[in-house]
Each structure stands twice: as structure tokens, then as C-alpha cells.
Amino acid sequence: MKPIVVGIAGGSGSGKTTFSNLLVKEIQGSQVYVIKTDQHFKKLLPKMKSPLSNIEYDDFNHPNALDYDKFLEELYGWLNAKNKADIIIIEGIFTLYFEEIRNLLDLKVFVDLDADERMYRRIKRNMENWGVSMEEVATYYVQVAKHREMEFILPTKKFADIIVNGNKLEGNALDMISGWIKSKLYPKSE
């Protein structure tokens, strides 16, 4: 039996990881494997000149930043493993960008949240997790990330089966998606 493959996309700081973690808790008892696109960045990143300052930055938000071959190798490894996972969750900003990945998804979720709220979350997260200053995070977001998200990430919302409010990750959306997964894992006998 093929694992159920769920994709969770959205802009940086929208709540993708939090929603993925909540979903894993909801479907306890099933064998779940989570693949994060953020763990597959190339060592040598593409560059972007900011349209605001003309300063060149490493570009984590361009699809070419993803080591696509390595990512696919991990994904197909789990799809073809002897001890298959029941569910594979793919989580990250590029989840709905590539057609080949979209075609493998049984359910496509986009976590949506206002850009100002996402920037606040991003600043808080990066300061806490990586010791980066507020100014560094805000500057990179305004100079680079915001523009690339508008160009490459936010338009992928059109591919989603379900759009989840990033401020309401628990509740109806989580119940619906976990219920759908459980119905696929444990179909009622007729």
C-alpha cells in the first residue's frame, strides 16, 4: 500500500512546522515521516540583488536554493522503502512549487497568514533559534525574502486543496485534515 502523502506549504513564519507537528500528534499510532524542504538547501545558494538596495544576498527563497535531487532521493526512498511509512508529510515553502512533487501529493495544504504577522514570527524564531539580531532578520525579510515569497511561494496557494488560517491551526482545519487521513488509513468496510 502506498503511503498517504500530505504537503504543507506557506510563506515563512506562517505556521507550517507547527501545523505539521500538530498533525503528527493527531495521527499518533500511525507511522509518520516528515520531510522538511528547509533541510535540503544547497551549500552554494543562488544570489539575489535586492530591488530596494541593490545589495547582493544569499537567496534561501528561490526554488534553485533547494537541492531538488537530494530532496527527491529522500522522498522516493521513503515512498519505495520496504518498511513504508503510513503517512509522509512534506513541509516547507517549496512544497507546492514543483509539479513533480505536487503530483505525488494526496492532499495539498497551504497555511496562510498576513505578511506582517509572518515577519514578526520569523524575527522571533530566528532570534531565539539562531541568535540573529532583529535588525538582521527584518532587513533580510524586507530586502529579499518578501520579494521572493511574492514571486515564488505565495502564488502556489492556487494549487492547495485546503487553505488553513495560520492563526487557527488547532480546531476545525486540524480535525478535518486528520479525519481525512484517518479515513484513508482505516476505511470503513462496506
What CATH number does the domain containing 12 carry? 3.40.50.300
Q: How many domains does the chain have?
A: 1
Distance separating the N- and C-terminal Cα atoms of the chain: 19
* Prediction pTM value: 0.91
Does residue 189 fall inside a structural domain? no
As beta bridge partners, residue 8 has: 91, 109
Mean pLDDT (10-residue bins), the chain, 190 residues: 93 93 92 94 94 93 95 93 89 97 97 91 86 87 90 96 94 93 79
- Determine the structural domain holding residue 113 and report its residue range: 4-181
Domain assignment present for residue 49? The answer is yes
Angle ∠(169,172,173) on CA atoms, nearest 5: 55
Residue 182, classified by CB atoms within 10 Å of its CB into exposed (0-12), middle (13-18) or buried (19+), is middle
Residue 24: inside a domain: yes
